[in-house]
Amino acid sequence: MKKQWLSLAPTECDLCHEGLKDCFIDGKTTYGPWATMCPTCHNLFGCGLGLGKGQKYDLDTLEKLED
């Protein structure tokens, strides 16, 4: 059984406020707090993927994608 995002689907990135397209990352930022991010912001400000860092989710199915 795949892990799934349990809240309503996010619509925009917490950092750049652009609309999310195919996926999103719920992850820790280099600033400290966690955010729901688009892949671009995650590349710039994210701390990676994995336990204690962040998870990537498919925006349509809300299923967790590989680390």
Pinpoint the alpha helices (H) of the chain: 39-45
Pinpoint the alpha helices (H) of 5-63: 39-45
Q: What is the pTM of this model?
A: 0.92
pLDDT averaged per 10 residues in sequence order, the chain, 67 residues: 90 98 97 97 97 96 89
24 phi, psi to nearest 5 deg:
-150, 160
- Residue 50, SS3? strand
Evaluated on CA atoms 29, 67, 63, 1, the torsion sign reads negative
Alpha-carbon radius of gyration of the chain: 11
